[in-house]
Structure formats: C-alpha cells, structure tokens
C-alpha cells in the first residue's frame, strides 16, 4: 500500500491508541488544524473545568478561595503538582503562575546577580523575540548595556544551533544562560542535560524556555539540575488564549529570595498576617508575584487531566509517528515545488512540528487556510505544520499534504499577496 494514499493513512489511524481522544476536542468542521504549537484547541474537559470554577464564584463568592472542588488559594500549587511529571520535576518545584515573559522577568531578576567580571547574559540569535526583550530590559535594570552584555550565540545555518558553539560561549564573564528547549522556528531540540552540565562546571546559572516543548516532549529538569525554566500553557497544553503560564525552580534554590517579590510570593500560612516583611514560600511558590488569575487557570485543570491519563511518553511516541509520516509525504510529493525541509530530520532532535521554507510561504499559508488547512507562517519564509498527538490523525496529515500539493500544482497561492497577516 502506497504511503501517499488515504487507505494508508486510515490504516495508521486504525492502529492509533490515542485516536479515541480526538472526540475530547472541539475540532472545527471542515478544517484540518495544524497550528496547535501556537494555540491548542479547546477540549471538553477544559471547558468543563472553566465552568466549574465559574460556578464556584457564583456559589461561594469570596469563600471560593478555600471552598469548592478547586479552592483558588491552593490552585496554582495543585496544578504544579499535576504538571510536574510533564517536565520531570518534583511537585513543589513547579508553580502555575504569570505569563511566559512575566515569569522570565521574575527568574532573571532572581538569578541574574552580576558580580565582578561575571556580568553578561548568554542567549541565542534564534530565540523568540519576547525573551530577548526581557533579557535586554533586565540588563538595563542592572545598569549595563544590552549591546555589550547580552551575548547571542550565532547560528551557522540560520535554522539551528550547535551545542558546541553554545558551550564555547560560556566564558568567564557569563553570569546567566537563557535558552529555548525547542527552537520555535525549526523545532530543534537542544540537549538540556549537556548544556546544564557545562554551565554547572563553569559556575553559571542556566534556565530554559519550554514554550515549544512542554506537552510535546519529555523532560527531566530535576535530574538534569536545571536551575529554572518557564513556559506558557496555551500551545500543546491547550489551556486557552492567554492562559496562565508556569515556572520551575530547582529544589536546591529554595530559600533564594525572589527578585520580584509580591503578594503571592508569601508563605501561605502567614500571608494574611499582613506583615510588611515578606516571608517567602519555601518552594517554587515564592516566585509568584500577584494574585492568581483564577479564570485563566481554570481550563488548565481539565486539560491536564488528559495528560495525566495518557502520559507524556505516549504523547511523544505518537507525535514522532505523525511528524515522520508528514516528512515522508513531503519528501515524496512536495520537494519538487521548491520546499526546503528546515527542521532536524533526526527524531531525537526534532520537537512537535515540521518546518518548511519556501520563497512564497506567506501566500501558500493563505491558500492553505482558504482550503481548510490551518498552518502557521513565520517570517520571513517559514511554514510550521504541527500535527498534535491528542487530536490530529494520520488522515489529517495526508489531507493537508494533498491540499498543499494541489495548491502548488494549480499555483493557486499566486492569488494571494506574499505578505504576512497581522497575526502570523
């Protein structure tokens, strides 16, 4: 049976143990959604947990902080416990709080304490812009110039990073390293264990952005001795647009004063003593700042139930099968039309999405959307396609590549301007 056939895709779906979870999600009719690495689809359980928390507000008013199925006062810690297996952490090393950038500001304010000749931050030139903005801001707050004190490792090919280059840049003037676990464009997985060990040997703190890895690949943050990590919950974790993020601080840093102290940095037992001297929580809760955004946390409750049922290893196993199948079809059917596969081919180095480059990428993405396939355009010439283990099928992959091939054969992409939309 040929791989490029509907029957082959259906045969793969028939052997898929996770196929039953597709019905858990509100998948739009007549649409193949391949943008879950930007915003995950709403699940029925996430909807249910949101409504339950709303009902607690309706039923209990202010007493919802300590009553109901999900008392709000302890919700960030409870969900940290449920998140911990996804990143290989102890339960008290995780807190659900803030947003990606707020959490990065908190962690850099805590761990970036320049002294002597160790005054610089090491990042990379391929990282998501918001991380760079935050690092530049924190450097300025410490009285240094980001042009000289933010070092960015260069990419040899404009798509990926070499761990050897990153380690070579961990010079004696580096105080802190902040890197992505998975690069947002190419989907390259960095070797967190190796990089952390190298930083530890050089007495450098190191932290990772897990936005494009959490919920897609396994981690072992505690065992790898990572100092800190941070992430959003609205991509692979399907907690909804603008949902509350999360952070990890290794147990051996407990007791380290938060760089940005706030109301919820407090140890819960004394928080309402109203003292003007902060007693920080003795776990990752110390790195919260303000009151939890309860209604934005609520969908994560239901979403994490699904991850707890299945486990990250099974999710990763299916994700690899989906992206391998997509790559096979792309190699066989699309390369003659000017596409370049720009993600790592090795399974161990590739995250949860496929990254293609084409000089007409923006117009191709518009043509795909017009034909019911939702991709993600990344300037200047990138197309991201993310088949998600929970709700995408092998049939979805076949259908998307078939539509893409037809667009290229008929050249219907030429009907659209090759410019990005407001939200790319």
Asked if residue 171 belongs to a known ligand binding site, the reply is no
Q: Residue 215 pLDDT > 80, yes or no?
A: yes
Asked whether residue 206 is domain-assigned, the answer is yes
Q: Of 309, 334, 354, which one is at a domain's C-terminal end? A: 309
Give me the DSSP letters along 80-101. HHHHHHHHT--GGGEEE-S-HH
Report whether 209 belongs to an annotated binding site: yes
Average pLDDT of span 217-244 = 98
Average pLDDT in the 87-92 region? 98
pLDDT in tens, 356-412: 999 999 999 999 999 999 999 999 999 999 999 999 999 999 999 999 999 999 999
191 marked ligand binding residue: no
| Omega before 380 within 30 of 0, i.e. cis | yes
Please tell me whether 100 is known to bind a ligand.
Answer: yes
pLDDT value for 3: 87
Instruction: Assign 40 a pLDDT band (cuts: 50, 70, 90).
Output: very high
Domain that holds residue 150: 48-309
Out of 260, 288, 309, pick the residue that ends a domain. Answer: 309
Q: Is 61 contained in some domain? A: yes
| 157 and 125 inside one domain | yes
- Shared domain check, 256 and 217: yes
Residue 301 C-alpha from the chain's centroid: 17
On whether the CB atoms of residues 248 and 93 are closer than 8 A, the answer is yes
Instruction: Evaluate whether residue 112 is within a structural domain.
Output: yes
Same domain (yes/no): 364, 252: no
Q: What is the pLDDT of residue 343?
A: 98
Q: Are residues 291 and 181 in the same domain?
A: yes
Query: Does residue 39 lie within any of the structural domains?
Result: no
Query: Is 174:119 a contact under the CB 8 Å cutoff?
Result: no
Binding residue per annotation — 222? Answer: no
Short-list 89, 67, 86, 4, CA closest to 304: 86
> What pLDDT does residue 422 have?
83
Residues 216 and 135 in one domain: yes
Residues 321 and 346 in one domain: yes
For the chain, the domain total comes to: 2
Tokens of 172: 């004696």
Note whether residue 69 is domain-resident.
yes
Is 128 labelled a binding residue? yes
Asked if 305 and 315 sit in the same domain, the reply is no
Q: Which CATH number do you get for residue 103?
A: 3.40.640.10
Residues 148 and 164 in one domain: yes
234 annotated ligand-binding residue: yes
Among 309, 337, 360, the domain-final residue is 309
Sheet bearing 376-378, strands edge to edge: 340-341, 354-357, 382-385, 376-378
Same domain, 343 and 265: no
pTM for the model: 0.97
Two structure tokens written together for 78:
């409870």
Q: Is residue 30 predicted with pLDDT exceeding 80? A: yes
- State the residue for tokens 């915003």: 39
131 labeled part of a ligand binding site: yes
291 is in an annotated binding site: yes
CA–CA dist 374, 382 (Å, integer): 14
Q: Is residue 41 part of a domain?
A: no
* 311-333 confidence digits (pLDDT tens): 999 999 999 999 999 999 999 99
Pair 281, 347 in one domain: no
pLDDT at residue 156 is higher than 90: yes
């Amino acid at each position: 049976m040929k791989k490029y056939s509907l029957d082959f895709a259906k045969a793969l779906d028939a052997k898929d143990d996770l196929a039953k979870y597709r019905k858990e999600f509100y998948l739009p009719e007549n649409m193949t959604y391949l943008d879950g690495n930007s915003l995950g689809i709403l699940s029925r359980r996430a909807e249910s947990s949101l409504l339950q928390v709303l009902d607690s507000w309706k039923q209990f008013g202010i007493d919802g902080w300590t009553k109901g199925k999900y008392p709000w006062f302890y919700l960030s810690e409870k969900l940290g416990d449920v998140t911990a297996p996804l990143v290989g952490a102890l339960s008290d090393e995780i807190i659900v709080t803030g947003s990606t950038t707020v959490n990065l500001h908190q962690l850099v304010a805590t761990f970036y304490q320049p002294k002597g000749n160790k005054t610089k931050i090491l990042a990379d030139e391929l990282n998501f812009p918001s991380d760079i903005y935050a690092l530049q801001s924190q450097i300025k707050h410490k009285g240094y110039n980001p042009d000289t004190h933010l070092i960015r490792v260069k990419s040899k090919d404009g798509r990926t990073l070499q761990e050897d280059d990153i380690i070579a840049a961990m010079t004696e003037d580096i105080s802190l390293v902040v890197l992505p676990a998975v690069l947002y464009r190419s989907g390259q997985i960095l070797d967190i264990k190796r990089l952390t060990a190298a930083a530890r040997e050089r007495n450098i703190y190191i932290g990772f952005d897990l936005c494009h890895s959490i919920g897609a690949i396994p981690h072992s943050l505690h065992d790898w001795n990572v100092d800190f990590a941070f992430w959003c919950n609205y991509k692979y974790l399907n907690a909804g647009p603008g949902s509350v993020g999360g952070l990890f601080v290794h147990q051996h840093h407990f007791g380290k004063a938060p760089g940005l102290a706030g109301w919820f940095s407090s140890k819960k037992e004394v928080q309402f003593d109203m003292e003007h001297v902060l007693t920080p929580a003795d776990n990752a809760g110390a790195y919260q700042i303000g009151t939890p955004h309860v209604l934005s946390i609520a969908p994560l409750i239901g979403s994490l139930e699904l991850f707890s049922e299945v486990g990250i290893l099974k999710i990763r196993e299916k994700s690899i099968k989906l992206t391998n199948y997509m790559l096979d079809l792309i190699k066989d059917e699309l390369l003659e039309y000017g596409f370049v596969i720009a993600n790592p081919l090795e399974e161990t180095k590739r995250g949860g999405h496929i990254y293609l480059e084409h000089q007409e990428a923006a117009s191709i993405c518009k043509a795909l959307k017009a034909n019911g396939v939702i991709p993600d355009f990344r300037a200047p010439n990138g197309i991201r396609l993310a088949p998600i283990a929970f709700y995408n099928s092998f049939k979805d992959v076949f259908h998307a590549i078939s539509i893409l091939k037809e667009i290229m054969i008929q050249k219907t992409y030429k009907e659209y301007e090759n410019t990005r939309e407001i939200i790319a």
